[in-house]
Structures are given as structure tokens and as C-alpha cells.
Amino acid sequence: MITEQDTLLKEKLKEVFGYSQFRGNQESIIQSISADHNTFVIMPTGAGKSLCYQLPAVMKPGTAIVISPLIALMKNQVDQLNVLNVKAQFLNSTLSKAEITKVRRDVLSGETKLLYVAPESLTKEENIAFLQKANISFVAIDEAHCISEWGHDFRPEYRKIKTIIDNLGNLPIIALTATATPKVQTDIQRNLQMEEAALYKSSFNRKNLYYEIRPKIDTKKQLIKYVKAHKGKSGIVYCLSRKKVEEIAQLLLVNDIKALPYHAGLDSHIRMANQDAFLNEDVDVIVATIAFGMGIDKPDVRFVIHYDTPKSLEGYYQETGRAGRDGLEGNCVMFYSYDDIIKLDKFNKDKQVTERENAKHLLQEMASYAESSVCRRRQLLHYFGEHVNQDCGFCDNCLKPREKFEAQEHVMMAIQAALQTNQRFDMAHLSDVLRGLENQYVISYGHNKLPIYGKGAAKDGAYWNSVIRQILLHDFLEKDIENYGVLKVSEKGMDFTENPYPVTLARDHDFSTAADDEDNENDPSGHPAGKACDPVLFELLKALQRKVAKEKKLPPYAVFQEPSLEEMATTYPTSKEDLSRINGVGMGKVEKFGRPFIELIGKYVDENDIATATEVVVKSTANKSKAKISIIQQIDRKVNLEDITEALDLSMADLIREIEHICYSGTRLNLDYYIDNLMDEERQDEIYDYFMTAETDNIQAAVQMLGDDYSEEELRLIRIKFLSEVAN
């Protein structure tokens, strides 16, 4: 039966927000908080959490307080509400005293319907005193996972929220999060003293999202190719550090991709301007730390790329959830290397013991997810306590399945390990017992005397971790919610011990090697990614190199070196600009030798219908190393090389190596002033003549030919002189 309240809700939904229907549990949630019931909402990103507190705030008398962790989130939501003619304001550290006074006045007058507050602002005595005078309708705690010390984004100030709310009166609370494992959910409810709250838990399954993990190899090239393949579409690239954000944003820009950075180190005005540029589609890609995106309502983000491995599956799920919020295309790609896990673990070393252990568990879950060859969606849903019985068919592991193996005996052994250790230990300990390790924990519990001890010694820890993770997904084991990490045997697992049957598992990925055998993606050129250059074109370029060298009366390597020719035969540069970006080729060399090579490659591309360099070449950001610029400037001023080494804190060998890099990039350097003081003319001429006739500029070959009369330093300096004069 439709009540008057139901009708009124629908009318306000259409009148204020423009929607004709509620989605999922929205209507029930709104009715719950409207009736002043404590309400706990677990709803995936993009499912409409914000409406669950915004609509009741509009309808109820007084002002709703929204506790939100990020200034960017506050601004975005306040801007959107003001466009809808809903009076919303925020109270945070960005406001001047005059602005704070106005906000308080508007709240006390009852004009403001929603007041967004950071938890830090809420702890200030003057703000508590002001809010005690206001007519507060209810409190919404957004991103409530920040409350839990077991969560991925724990913030100590969130633990104090309940005490502060109690100072404001007996107010109903609605807590909302997109990411809460069963353990985190329990912790949030206990902290807020709302165990009795109405719980609304939506499915975590975002069916339109495609999940893929790629090895972190040639990552910049993979990134550029991917973004160019999605040209004109909106995307977010997440990096872990501010420095990496700046570097990748610049990389995208020089590769003709409209991109901007976003991180907490930017001036707040620049940060907001960059966010607005992305929302207004003035740029296609935002490169950001994890701070970007919380509460950002952009429905048509088509891809989310994790350039670095995230710190937790909760963070990963929340960030990928920013793709395809309109239900259409949403691609989630993560570049993974276990080195990232090791690096992140080191960052946690200064944390308190409990927090450090929690962070380590989260990292292990992240690594397990990345390396596992089981359906990605099943893994994610299982992590959040949601079970499905079949694979999704729409992730990299489903579309490119790994080798399977029969594992009935090992499944039984893993279950027995859990039972014989009294179902009180985590995966790592069960693995240690199965492998027969004699560490202090195994011995202290007497587990080295168990019948199962050492029965799995023929396999390594990675294998047993994989088996245990997979049988968790198959419901033979289950997580103990009260004791983090502890695994217990499920009813299905107990049945299996009585009546065992064949079980098929999949082999994990090995992302430590470049040639992961499932990566058969082709370059736009038609050649497999990472494979050798086009052999036909390479031979044509070699012949041209020799021809040009003969005409110019130079050794072939002085025209272009072999690695440069290989890169040309891989990336097909057909313009001066493209050719100048080949390693070992600067614009000076292009002007001197480039024309016949560009013509040859252009003709070959046309005849064989090949994609050109612009599709596959990753343009590097200009090398603006202060050291390199300083070296060039000081050599131009004829500064002694010993003085340069001292000024830049370099050894002579390192300085000469830097000078060689500069020279091989096509910059001409005149070291005569230094060389003339070091060697007489006859010695210079002998080395110079050698390089003029040699087949290679390899220093070891020069040492063998010229003998011990010349030091390696002398040979390298004359090689620089030779290449600068004849090749650059």
C-alpha cells in the first residue's frame, strides 16, 4: 500500500533531483533515516549513496550534518546541490573568518539544509558550541570505513565522532560506505554504538566493470598505448606518490593526451581547477593520488588505471568503482609487480605494531588477488562477504584462463591442517605447517608434532597459499569475522572430509617474468608486444646505414648505431619529430642523416600497410636534468672537467658517462680545451683515426686494437670528440 509519505518522497525526488524512480535500496534507506532510525548503508560506488542522506535532509526540518573526510568531496557535492537549489555549505580549513561567520549564521537561521564538516573541524570547541545551538535533523557519516582500524583508510579522528555527536544531543545517525568487509562492518557498528541499526547492504557486483591485471613491464609504453586506444574517453590514472603523479601527467601531455595532475601537494586553487577541468571534459585524463574521486559524480569515466599497486583491496575496489557509473563501459586495469608490495610494506615500518600488522594483511590480500588466476569478480565479491557460484566470464582470468590442475589430495591436506590446528590460525601458519617449517610459532604451539606436519613439503609456500585462497573461494574454508585472518572449516569443508571428490584449481600468474605467457596482445604494428623488431626493415636500414656512411666517408656506427636502427624497425618513425625521439638520435642527427631513413621507412610502411610510430612510440618528457644542463653550460664555458666533477659531486667516470649520453642524444660538445691539455696531437690523431676506420665504437674493442698505451678515459674522450665532430 502506497502511503502519503511514499508519494511525497517520489514527488521530492523528481522535483529536486530530477529522478522518477529510486534505485535499489534507496527508498527503504531514506524512509529509515527519515523515521529517525539509526541506519547503516553499505553500497558500491556509483549506486547512489549520496541521495540516501541528501533527500531526507531536504525534507526534514533543520540542518543535516554530513561528516566527510575530503575537502574536494565537500566542494563537489555542495556545488551540485546548490545547482539544484538546495542550500548546502561546508565548514573546513579553507574558509576565512568572515566566511565561517556567514556559514554559522545561515545554519542557525535554518536556511542551510546540509552542512558538510571535516571530522577535524567537528572536534573544535567553538564548532561544537555553535552546533549545540542549531536545529540538527540527523548526522550522516560518509566514507564510514575510515572509522575502522581494520579498514583500508583508517583515520583516528573518526573514532571520536560518536562522542562528539553525543555532545550535540540524541541524534539519529546514517553511516555510509562503499567498502566494508564483514570485519570492518562489525567494527563500525560497535564504534558508533549502533549494533541495532537498520542494515542495508547492496551487492558489490558491478557487472559492467572489466577487471584486468598486467605485469608492470614497459609500463609507460603500455599506458600510452592503452589511453590512445581509448582516445577522447574520460579516464583516471592512480599513482601512489605525488612525484609519480606529476611525472605520468607530463608523460601523457607530451604524448598528445589531454591530462592534468591531482594531489594534495598542489595549491588548492590549482587542484580544484584541475578537478573542474576533468568534470567539464576540458581534459580527458586526470592523474591522481587516491585522494581524487571520493564523491566525484562523473558517470562516464571509461577507464581507471592503477599505475602502481594499491595498498588494499578495499581501496582498489573503491577506486575502480569510479569507472562506468552510468552502467556503460568501465575498464579497470592494474599494473602489478610484487616489488610494489615490498615497497609499500617498508612504508609501514614506523606505524604502531597493530596498525602495521593490519596493513601487512591488507597488502597480502592485494598480492593474492593480483597473482591469482581465479575469476577476479568472484575474488572481490568473496572478500566483501558476498558469494557467487560461477565465474563472471568478463575479466582477464575468465577470458584468458590459466592452466588447471587436479587438487583433491591437496585440498584435503589444507582442510586437515586447519582442523588439526583447532581452526585458530591464518593462511601463512597453515602453509608453514603443511611445508614442515620449524619456525618459533610452529614449535611453540607443538604443531610440528601433528600428523599433517610436513605432508606438503614437496610444494612451496606460494603453492599452498594459492590452494588455500582458492578453496576459500570454493567455500571449503571461511574467514572468522571476530579474529582477523583466522580460517575455519566450513560445513562444505567438513562434508568434503567425509566424502572427498575431485577438485580442479588454477595455477597462479607469475608476474616476475616479462614473458607472462598469457600476454599475447599485439602492437598496432601487428608485431607481438615486446618482441623483436621487423627483421626485413632492419636489414634495409642496415644497408642504408652502410651506404650513407660510405658516401660520407664515415664508419657506419657514426651515422646511426645498431640499437637505434632496431628501434626504428620496431616503431616505424616517418617524420623528423618521430625519428628524433629514437634513442641515440637527436634533431642534429636527423638534420644530418635523417632524410633517406625517413623516406625508406615511409615507403616500407605504405607498401606493407603498417601503423606508424605515432601509434606505438612513447615520447619521453624532455630530459631537463639540472646536471645535464649544467654540464653543457660549463663545457661551453670551457670549465675544467675536474672542477665540474667537484661542483656536481660526480666521479670522473660518471661525468664522462653523462657527457656520452648527451653526445649520443645528438648534442655537439667541444672538449678540445680539455683534451689538448691532456694529450698531445699525435696521440689524439691515432685514436681518432682508429674510430674513423673501426667497425664499432666499442671501447673494449678499441683497447684490444690499440693496446695498453692509452687509458680508457683517453679513448672515451676522443670518442666523444669524434662523434661530436662527424656524427652530430
Strands of 327-457, DSSP E? 330-336, 404-406
Pick the CATH number of 408-502 from 1.10.10.10, 3.40.50.880, 1.10.3720.10, 3.30.499.10: 1.10.10.10
Q: In terms of residues, how long is the chain? A: 728
Answer whether 226's CB lies under 8 Å from 248's CB: no
Classify domain 209-387 by CATH number.
3.40.50.300
Q: What is the pLDDT of residue 411?
A: 94
C-beta neighbour count of 386 within 10 angstroms: 15
Cα–Cα–Cα angle for 381, 387, 392, rounded to 5 degrees: 65
Q: What is the pLDDT of residue 354?
A: 76
Answer whether 251's CB lies under 8 Å from 621's CB: yes
Q: Is 195 buried (19+), middle (13-18) or exposed (0-12) by CB count in 10 A?
A: exposed
Q: What is the DSSP string of 71-87?
A: HHHHHHHHHHHHHTT--
Coil, helix or strand at residue 18: coil
What does the alpha-carbon distance between residue 511 and residue 407 come to, in Å, rounded to a whole number? 23
- 145 backbone φψ class: left, alpha, beta (φ>0; ψ -120 to 50): alpha
Answer whether 113's CB lies under 8 Å from 140's CB: no
Going from N- to C-terminal start, the domains of the chain cover 4-201, 209-387, 408-502, 535-615, 626-726
Residue 398: which of 166, 207, 154, 529 has the closest Cα? 207
Answer whether 122's CB lies under 8 Å from 147's CB: no
| HSE-CB for 147 with a 13 A CA cutoff | 29
**What class does CATH assign to 535-615?**
mainly alpha
Same fold, 209-387 and 408-502: no
Alpha helices (runs of H) in 39-143, residue ranges in sequence order: 49-59, 71-83, 97-108, 119-122, 125-133
Alpha helices (runs of H) in 151-267, residue ranges in sequence order: 161-168, 182-191, 219-229, 242-254
What does the alpha-carbon distance between residue 134 and residue 123 come to, in Å, rounded to a whole number? 16
Across 524-542, b (16+ Cβ under 10 Å) vs e yields: ebebebeeebbeebbebbb
Q: Is 361 buried (19+), middle (13-18) or exposed (0-12) by CB count in 10 A?
A: middle
pLDDT one-digit tens code per residue, 428-447: 899 999 999 989 999 999 99
pLDDT one-digit tens code per residue, 64-105: 999 988 776 787 789 889 889 999 999 888 888 999 999 999
Classify domain 4-201 by CATH number.
3.40.50.300
Q: What is the pLDDT of residue 369?
A: 93
Low-confidence ranges of the chain (pLDDT < 70): 1-2, 46, 72, 149, 151-153, 291-297, 512-532, 611-626, 665, 728
Q: What is the pLDDT of residue 514?
A: 44
Four-residue CA torsion sign, 50, 53, 56, 57: negative
Instruction: Quote the cell numbers at residue 39.
Output: 541506519
What does the alpha-carbon distance between residue 78 and residue 216 come to, in Å, rounded to a whole number? 39
Q: What is the DSSP string of 569-617?
A: HHH---SHHHHHTSTT--HHHIIIIIHHHHHHHHHHHHHHT---HHHH-
Q: Which CATH superfamily is domain 626-726 in?
A: ATP-dependent DNA helicase RecQ (1.10.10.1390)
Answer whether 122's CB lies under 8 Å from 128's CB: yes
Instruction: Quote the cell numbers at residue 162.
Output: 560518536
Q: What is the pLDDT of residue 122?
A: 84
What does the alpha-carbon distance between residue 483 and residue 537 come to, in Å, rounded to a whole number? 62
Strands of 188-324, DSSP E? 198-201, 209-215, 234-238, 259-262, 285-288, 301-306
What does the alpha-carbon distance between residue 419 and residue 413 come to, in Å, rounded to a whole number? 10
In which residue are the cell numbers 664522462 written? Answer: 656
Q: What is the pLDDT of residue 108?
A: 94
Cα–Cα–Cα angle for 580, 584, 589, rounded to 5 degrees: 55
Angle of the 712-726 helix axis to the 699-706 helix axis, nearest 10: 120
Q: What is the pLDDT of residue 152?
A: 64
- Tell me the whole-structure pTM to 2 decimals: 0.63
Spell out the residues 6+ positions from residue 542 whose beta carbon is closer than 8 angstroms to its own.
Answer: 562, 565
Q: What is the pLDDT of residue 293?
A: 57
Answer whether 574's CB lies under 8 Å from 563's CB: no
Instruction: Quote the cell numbers at residue 27.
Output: 527508498
